[in-house]
Amino acid sequence: MAKVKVGVAGYGVIGQRLADGVALQEDMELVGVADVAPTLSIRALRERGMPYALYTALPEKKGDLEAAGIPVSGTLEDLVQKVDVMLDATSAGVGAKNKELYTKYGKKAIFQGGEKNDVADVFFHGYANYEKGLDAQFLKLTSCNTTGLIRAVDCIDRKAGVEKVAITIIRRVADPGDYHRGLTNALQVDKAPSHQAVDLMTIMPHVNATGILVHTPVTHGHIITIVMTPKKDISADEALKYFDDHPRIRVVSLDEGFLGNASLFRYARDLGNPRGDMYEIALWKDTVVKSEGDIMFAINIPQESVTIPESIDGIRAVMGMQKDRIEATNTTNKYLGIGKWKDLS
């Protein structure tokens, strides 16, 4: 069976991780990546020996790339014509413009969470609504927080049903290396409900969700606390077992040294993971408690990498590579090496 040909538009925080993730999929071929300028990510790509072909998103900027010694294989329009599906990781609003190009050539595309929902046919999550993405032309991923949140809620929902959730998101203010948000020593609260709660209900309309978001002056990871009301009464130990069985949820504990977001980032680096990435969300077993019929727990969201597996699930859905969500997500997990720690336990 021929490999599915994939291109990536935007080689930034998410785009470079999408490229690496697709390159690991043995049933996919990464044709190339597109960007507009010799950014630090593109310069690093050159110093790595150009493992991926680079296409210029703006033909008039080709000279800037070549002046920096970066070889250019063509334009974004050239790349689009060579692929089956595009992963669009460009800045918010740019993807909607790129959609015109994808439509022109009848190509499928998957947009990241920063685009507006109306850019796509389906608001997509690999575990919660994989079937809705089958053979669609355009998908939009959920944001990093929503992706991890839905993993945890869907996990319990499929075992015991979930009536409602209340969430508090302790949100990193910027990605590592970003300066545009300035230097700060303050917390900031957004109006409720947070968009993550609203987005969860869009993906899982049978769950009543609300939430509050707090911006914090840190860069490595978000933490979400969740109070969940299952439809079926379950114990904290039962919930913990369900979480532990999920391939993209890693159960950790304070006693092991996982004290917070920084501990998880350091651990990922010590594992030798590129860029200190983890595809799994971490769930602290020390936080799983029961209050009457509710289950409360806390999770860590590695914001730069958490959406990569679901993005690849999206390729499998739109291309009809696997019709079953478990077969699809398991295949993605296998090639990304997700769940390796479980083999050691």
- CB contact set of 315 (below 8 Å; sequence gap of 6+): 4, 6, 22, 25, 28, 85, 87, 110, 321
Check if the beta carbon of residue 85 is closer than 8 Å to that of residue 113: no
Check if the beta carbon of residue 4 is closer than 8 Å to that of residue 321: yes
Mark whether 155 is an active-site residue.
no
Instruction: Round to whole Å and give the CA distance between 172 and 151.
Output: 20
CA angle 308, 118, 209 (to 5 degrees): 70
* Strands 4-9 and 85-88, sheet pairing: parallel
Q: Is 35 annotated as a binding residue?
A: yes
Instruction: Round to whole Å and give the CA distance between 271 and 101.
Output: 40
Instruction: Round to whole Å and give the CA distance between 186 and 144.
Output: 23
The residue from 8, 19, 122, 144 that is catalytic is 144
Type of residue found at 306: V
Task: Summarize the chain as % helix, strand, coil (round to 5).
Answer: 40, 25, 40
The binding site comprises 35
The binding site for NAD(+) comprises 35
Catalytic residues: 144
